[in-house]
Structure 1
Amino acid sequence: MRSWLNISSLEFAAGALLVGVLTGIFCERYRSRRRLAGRLEKLMHRQDKLLMEKEWLLREIHHRIKNNLQIIISLLHMQSVRMKDESAIGAFEDIGARVNTISLVHKKLYLESSDRVTIRMRDYVLDLVEYVRDSLCAHRFIAFHLDIADLSLDVSQVIPLGLILNEAITNAVKYAFPDNEASARTSGSFIPAEAHRPGPAAAPPTIRISLHEQPIGLNPPHPHQRTAGPATATLILRITDNGIGLPPGFDASRCGTLGIQLIQTLTAQLDGTFHLTSAPGVDLTITFTRHSNPLHEPAPLSGHHFAQ
């Protein structure tokens, strides 16, 4: 009887010890999980704080770059008004327009971009064309038809694309319509592409700009056909006018003008292709692929790009 009681006491003691050990293990695991959850919460809070600081720093950087570029534009304007040589004044105005094209990118990144690295092209092209149109007083005689897809591009592609647009629009306004004042038939307001209805009368001076994406592997769309595609797509920029066109025998590959050379160099930065035709008017088409790497940086412009 006593032996049986001893065995029962030992079993009870062993069971109690086992329960105690298991309880200790569970308590320690619970405390470990609590400590881990606390550390994780602190890390997440720190990460949120770092992300907010990064957001603020990016906004501040774009804001300061924009302001510095605006100072450069003001200095160029102040210098140009002191000049008497028309060609020098025109060169300063062209440089100011190019600097403004870049400044507008940083303004969009500062005020409107949700991620500070991409820009909605529809809003950017609208603001850029409006600036060029007003600065050249083109609103008095040229109608602008914009057909821009609702897409966003990385800043590394927006800047060369904006500079291409600035050069092409400026050239069209200055040279495509030599008798523009006499043939003024429009207020120059922006007209949606789908609202354009050509009539039997002679068309007013017009510049059309379209930007759309076409999935890789498909044929290029009609010049004014709206298309939509996935993120991996070929982008097609077209700037056309109904002006006097290019001079007979014009060869873009041998042209020595800075505007054409700049457009060709910027197209190379986009890893794209450049196509220029005239029949009638001028049709400039830039085809390129959206960068899949948001950190991709184009090669900087240097003097040898513009060597004669």
Structure 2
Amino acid sequence: APEAKAALEESVRRIRSIALVHETLSLEAGDDVPFLEIVRPLVRMVEEGLVSPERPVSVTVVGDAGKLPATMATSLSVVLTELLQNAMDHAFPLGSVHEPSHVELRLGNDGRSVTVLLRDDGVGLPEGFDLEASTGLGLSIVRTLVTTELGGTISMRRGRGDATRPGTVVELVVPLSEDPLDPLAR
């Protein structure tokens, strides 16, 4: 069944993203990793899996989050994979995209927190969408990782595009640990 196949492909992507992170982390000495080195191959992996002539979407990465603790980098990578996958599946349903479409991933790090802004020019969130009430597995994983694991915040809102393609903006803010020796200190 197509649903089962899609669910399986989604699980495989989740596992591959975690494997990719671990592979990158094992190449790095010490505990901090340049996050961009993980983000680029992650974006490529999502593009390879989901972009096609029927879904001509390009992903642009802007900015940098600098070096992050390995545990934070791992959680953020899983979150990014889910959000990118969500953007592809929901913002650009197959067959609905007739002109090139874009997802922009903007990273920032001001020394106190890491910000991730994901903006697409797709069909936008459904009327009355509520992130807290969303029952999808992907968004549940994202919510749990961002708020519980990372002690951060996440918001999703309709973009400012036109009526047919308003787009969606997802914003994450994750605090960097106060004490670099204690990953639990916030």
Measured in 2, the distance between the counterparts of 1:148 and 1:108 equals 20
CA distance in 2, matches of 1:150, 1:266: 18
Hey, what does 1:147 align to over in structure 2? 62
| Aligned counterparts of 1:137 and 1:175: Cα–Cα separation in 2 | 13
1:270 to 134, 137, 150: 150
- Pick one of 3, 9, 17 that aligns with 1:101: 17
Report the counterpart of residue 249 of structure 1 in structure 2.
128
Q: For residue 296 of structure 1, report the CA deviation from its aligned partner.
A: 2.5
Taking the TM superposition and a 5 Å limit, the aligned residue runs for 1:55-74 are: none
State the secondary structure of the residue aligned to 1:284: strand
Cα shift at 1:135 = 1.4
Partner of 1:90: 6
TM-score, with length taken from structure 1: 0.53
Give CA deviations for 1:10-30 in whole Å, capped at 9, x if unaligned. xxxxxxxxxxxxxxxxxxxxx
CA distance in 2, matches of 1:293, 1:241: 34
The 3 A distance-change label for structure 1 pair 150 and 252 is closer
Q: Is the 8 A contact 1:141 1:181 kept in 2?
A: no
CA displacement at 1:137 relative to structure 2: 2.9
RMSD of aligned alpha carbons:
2.0
Residue 65 of structure 2 contacts residue 107 of structure 2 at CA under 8 Å; is this kept in 1?
no
TM-superposed CA distance for 1:179, in Å, is 5.7
Which aligned runs of 4 or more in structure 1 are off by greater than 4 angstroms?
179-182
Unaligned runs of 5+ in 1: 1-84, 185-203, 215-231, 298-308
Offset at residue 148 of structure 1 (A): 3.2
Identity %: 25
Secondary structure at the counterpart of residue 107 of structure 2: strand
Higher helix proportion, which one? Answer: 1
Matched, 1:282 2:146: no
Deviation at residue 150 of structure 1 after TM alignment: 5.7
- State the 1:168 CA deviation: 0.7
Q: 1:118 aligns with which of 13, 21, 32?
A: 32
Alpha-carbon distance change, 275 to 250 in structure 1, aligned in 2, over 3 angstroms = same
Q: Retained in 2: the 8 A contact 1:98–1:163?
A: yes
Higher RCO (CA-CA < 8 Å; seq separation 6+): 2
Deviation at 1:256, TM superposition (A): 1.2
Q: Secondary structure at the match of 1:247?
A: coil
Q: CA deviation at 1:114?
A: 3.0
Structure-to-structure mapping, 1:174-253, within 5 angstroms: 174-178=89-93, 183-184=98-99, 204-214=100-110, 232-253=111-132
- TM score, norm. by length of structure 2: 0.85
Q: Which has the higher strand share?
A: 2
Number of aligned pairs?
175
Q: For residue 303 of structure 1, what is the aligned residue in structure 2?
A: none
Q: Does the 8 Å CA contact 2:21/2:38 hold for their aligned counterparts?
A: yes
For residues 149 and 86 of structure 1, what CA distance do their matches in structure 2 show?
Answer: 37
Structure 1 residues 289, 119: CA separation in 2 closer, same or farther (over 3 Å shift)? same
Shift of 1:183: 1.3
**In 2, Cα distance between equivalents of 1:150 and 1:102:** 19
Q: Which structure 2 segments of 5+ residues have no match?
A: 160-165
Counterpart of 2:183 in structure 1 is 296
Which residue identity does 1:143 align to in structure 2?
S
Give secondary structure in 1 for the equivalent of 2:61. strand
